[in-house]
Structure 1
Amino acid sequence: MELRQLEYFVAVAEECNFTRAAERVHISQSGVSAQIRRLERELGAQLFERSARTATLTTAGKAALEHARAALNSAKSVKTAVDEVGVVIRGELTVGMVTACTVTPLFDALSLFHRAHPRVEVALLEDSSDRLVERVRSRVMDVALVGTAYGPPDDLESILLIQDRLVAAVPDNHPLARRPGIGLAEVTSHPLVCLPTGTGIRSVLDIACRARSIEPAMAMQASAPDAVVDLAARGLGVAILSESMVTPRPGLSIAVIDDVEVPATLSLIWSVPASPALGVLLTHLRHAFGS
């Protein structure tokens, strides 16, 4: 039994005529008749009562019709599923990452996705968080890992990964060293080392300073958190970062800036509707980040 036989059978049943059925499936009437006779032999039953002008279903034909339609629909569903996978394996994705933010789960997800779908072209771009957000909004970029103040943008889909307080990091011989907590006014009385404008940490700092009418002195800025810490460790300023960005090390004191309550967040963001390729990548990202 072949799918084309079932297709011809359904066509004749619905048209009640071999000639019209042949026109519908774009083959000759003799071809349709031959395939229907073959199907009847395989089933061991006559499916149609034939006359010069009409073809009427027999009892066996009526019993077979719905099953034939179901088989054709199932075959169509198989093709649709394969076509959708075909879109995924032939797609393109642009992934954004806030500059110098080394997040291992992101790289793990990209690696697993690439191995599973090697025909998807993936571009990974670094930039400041504010520019990444705009690129995702304008659909120039599919998904991005961004740092923001308060939380991810409300107009985009997101997964919140980290929510942190600001900390100050200084060498042990600094006046602010070995303090369990510290206020923003005292921190900003010293030169600061921070990430550039457009990053989530800098946004949190700027918001907190504006709320208190403080104009901090920026001694230096660096795009990588480790570089910010290294500069502060050498006495070039007070490092301002989030708790998760600073790894304790000998000779370094870390204190929470306890009167800054605006959280620094790290999130994955994307627009909807997501493409099939992005949908698969998001599944890998959720597993990688444990969401």
Structure 2
Amino acid sequence: MHQVRYFLAVARELNFTRAADECNVSQPSLTRAIQKLEEELGGPLFRRERSRTHLTDLGRLMLPHLERTFEAAEAAKLLAKGVGRSEVAPLTLGVQSVVESDTLNAILKELAEGLKGFELTLTTGSADVLMEKALSGELDLIITELPGDVPDRIDHWPLFRHGYVMVTRKDHPLARSETPSLGALRDEPWIDHDGAGCPRLQLAAVAVGFEPIVRHRATDMRNLGRLIEAGVGSAFIPGSLATGDVVAVPLADADVTESVVLGAVAGRRRGPAAEAFVRASRAKSWADVTA
């Protein structure tokens, strides 16, 4: 892991001297460690041209894998330290209502089993509400779609992308269509799920020449599902949220995807549980969610 840490430092700095200073080791020691790693991986990781250093093709390929390896090791160390502690390790986490992921569930399970004293407070809401609560100190971390204007005070790390689709009853006339057109849904009553008037649906509909009928509103995903199952309308939401007696229907002319990120207030000290969550999240490969 020392070799991996030194490699990541050189990849950031692109300078062996500065990387050695960052890692608090001598430059010869850092160079020997990099050489050993290169021997293990079967080729040079850096191209040295006088005072300039560049990643080789192999180095660029190895960088994301070694980053995840290092983050996973750090997360494991943090969890191991937490096992021997008796103090409470609280985490206040906000997850946007349209975000659903098995990886998130797995990380929470790992923390619950490996971090002694782990106490979780989980809340949901819109992206704007969660961002405001994070800035005010009510939330340690947030998982949300990436807003168009991220506040400078928010650090964020990409997790995955998910796609928006029509979610409707299984007996809807278009439910069994392979890829129906959004234009075929001009008279469909839609359900607003975030109080913003279904902005992604509005943009997609304008692109094909009509104004969608947003007739109903639901304050959370559970109530949204209840309205869909009752047959009062359909929703335009990520396909991963289609559960129960509803079905996800991709639309041929409405290709809408959003990036989901993990966010935290920059410079704010994180507790053991929040730090473990960040490291575990960045160490895992979150698969993109499709309809």
Number of corresponding residues: 204
Counterpart position of 1:196: 194
Point out where structure 2 has 5 or more consecutive residues left out of the alignment.
1-77
Query: Identity, % of aligned pairs?
Result: 20
The 5 A counterparts of 1:138-177 are 138-148=136-146, 153=150, 155=152, 156-171=154-169, 173-177=171-175
1:210 shift after superposition: 5.7
Counterpart position of 2:204: 208
1:242 shift after superposition: 1.8
How far, CA to CA, are the matches of 2:226 and 2:147 in structure 1? 24
Cα deviations across residues 196-248 of structure 1 (Å, max 9, x unaligned)?
A: 2259xx44224434666744222323345465345334431123222222258
How far, CA to CA, are the matches of 1:216 and 1:176 in structure 2? 16
The 5 A counterparts of 1:79-228 are 92-99=90-97, 103-119=101-117, 121-148=119-146, 153=150, 155=152, 156-171=154-169, 173-197=171-195, 202-209=198-205, 214-225=210-221, 227-228=223-224
Bigger Rg, structure 1 or 2: 1
Amino acid in structure 2 at the alignment position of 1:94? T
The partner residue of 2:266 within 272, 275, 280 is 272
Provide closer, same or farther for how the CA distance between residues 203 and 154 of structure 1 changes in structure 2, counting only shifts above 3 A.
farther
Q: Aligned Cα RMSD in Å?
A: 4.0
Aligned 8 A contact 2:98 2:238 in 1: no
Provide closer, same or farther for how the CA distance between residues 209 and 138 of structure 1 changes in structure 2, counting only shifts above 3 A.
farther
Do structure 1's residue 263 and structure 2's residue 261 form an aligned pair? no
How far, CA to CA, are the matches of 2:147 and 2:252 in structure 1? 16
| Partner-residue secondary structure (3-state), 2:131 | helix
How far, CA to CA, are the matches of 1:171 and 1:275 in structure 2? 43
Amino acid in structure 2 at the alignment position of 1:275? R
| Partner-residue secondary structure (3-state), 1:266 | strand
Aligned 8 A contact 1:149 1:204 in 2: no
1:128 shift after superposition: 2.0
1:87 shift after superposition: 11
Cα deviations across residues 88-142 of structure 1 (Å, max 9, x unaligned)?
A: 9566532112248554433443343344443465432222222112223444422
How far, CA to CA, are the matches of 1:204 and 1:88 in structure 2? 47
Provide closer, same or farther for how the CA distance between residues 160 and 197 of structure 1 changes in structure 2, counting only shifts above 3 A.
farther
Do structure 1's residue 232 and structure 2's residue 228 form an aligned pair? yes
Aligned 8 A contact 1:192 1:218 in 2: yes
Aligned 8 A contact 2:204 2:254 in 1: yes
How far, CA to CA, are the matches of 1:88 and 1:272 in structure 2? 28
How far, CA to CA, are the matches of 2:86 and 2:271 in structure 1? 6
* TM score, norm. by length of structure 2: 0.53
Point out where structure 1 has 5 or more consecutive residues left out of the alignment.
1-80
How far, CA to CA, are the matches of 2:162 and 2:115 in structure 1? 34
Provide closer, same or farther for how the CA distance between residues 169 and 112 of structure 1 changes in structure 2, counting only shifts above 3 A.
closer
1:144 shift after superposition: 0.9
How far, CA to CA, are the matches of 1:253 and 1:99 in structure 2? 18
Provide closer, same or farther for how the CA distance between residues 153 and 183 of structure 1 changes in structure 2, counting only shifts above 3 A.
farther
* TM score, norm. by length of structure 1: 0.53
> After alignment, is 97-106 or 176-185 more displaced?
97-106
